[in-house]
């Protein structure tokens, strides 16, 4: 008998046949409402639990603790103690966690253009940033929806 989740996914996304595809795996790691907001709060550097909680408006303490554990398990965040009694931790992005910054910037730009809000800007000059897919071999931009863009 076919798995209900698999058949539902096939109905909505007929092009997705492999649940181990890179996008599916990435969404398993960071695809809920809070996780990318937590990662975004750590972009500027390490923060303590309470600082993250204050930055990510509306998140409950137990959800924050759960998501931080998940991010640690995925090796996207490291936790370092700053106090032993009681044990208190400081959280920072790993290299893999920092690699999510461009995805967060792209989602922020998409959200700003769709729902209104500020686009990401270049700190040096204040110009709105544009997100592009770049081929380093051909040294050219590939437009979204182009037949030249293939997901493996």
Query: Domain locations in the chain?
Result: 31-142
DSSP annotation string for 17-43: --TTSHHHHHHHHH-STTHHHHHHHTT
What is the per-residue pLDDT for 7? 45
What is the per-residue pLDDT for 148? 65
What is the per-residue pLDDT for 136? 87
What is the per-residue pLDDT for 72? 96
What is the per-residue pLDDT for 11? 47
What is the per-residue pLDDT for 24? 83
What is the per-residue pLDDT for 46? 97
Owner of token pair 């461009």: 102
| Cα dihedral 144/148/32/47 (nearest 10) | -80
What is the per-residue pLDDT for 151? 56
Cβ 35 vs Cβ 69: under 8 Å: no
Distant-in-sequence, close-in-space partners of 40: CB < 8 Å, separation ≥ 6: 104
Alpha-helical runs (H) found in 3-140: 4-12, 22-30, 35-41, 49-55, 61-73, 95-98, 101-115
What is the per-residue pLDDT for 140? 87
pTM over 0.85: no
Owner of token pair 């071999």: 137
Q: How far apart are CA 49 and CA 65, in angstroms?
A: 8
Q: How far apart are CA 152 and CA 150, in angstroms?
A: 6
> What CATH number has the domain spanning 31-142?
1.10.10.10
Cβ 41 vs Cβ 52: under 8 Å: yes
Mean pLDDT by runs of 10 across the 152 residues of the chain is 47 57 85 93 96 97 96 96 92 96 88 86 87 84 71 53
CA 112 from chain centre, in angstroms, equals 16
* pLDDT tens digits, 67-109: 999 999 999 999 999 998 998 999 999 999 999 998 998 888 8
What is the per-residue pLDDT for 47? 98
Cβ 19 vs Cβ 6: under 8 Å: yes
């Amino acid at each position: 008998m076919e798995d209900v989740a698999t058949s539902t996914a096939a109905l909505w996304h007929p092009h997705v046949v492999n649940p181990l595809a890179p996008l599916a795996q990435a969404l398993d790691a960071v695809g809920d409402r809070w996780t990318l907001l937590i990662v975004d709060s750590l972009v500027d550097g390490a923060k303590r639990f309470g600082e993250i909680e204050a930055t990510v408006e509306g998140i409950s303490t137990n959800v924050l603790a759960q998501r931080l554990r998940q991010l640690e398990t995925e090796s996207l965040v490291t936790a370092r103690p700053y106090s032993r009694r009681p044990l208190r931790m400081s959280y920072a992005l790993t290299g893999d966690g920092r690699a999510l910054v461009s995805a967060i910037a792209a989602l922020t730009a998409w959200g700003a253009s769709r729902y209104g809000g500020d686009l990401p800007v270049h700190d040096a000059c204040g110009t709105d940033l544009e997100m592009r897919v770049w081929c380093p071999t051909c040294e050219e931009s590939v437009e979204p929806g182009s037949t030249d863009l293939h997901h493996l």
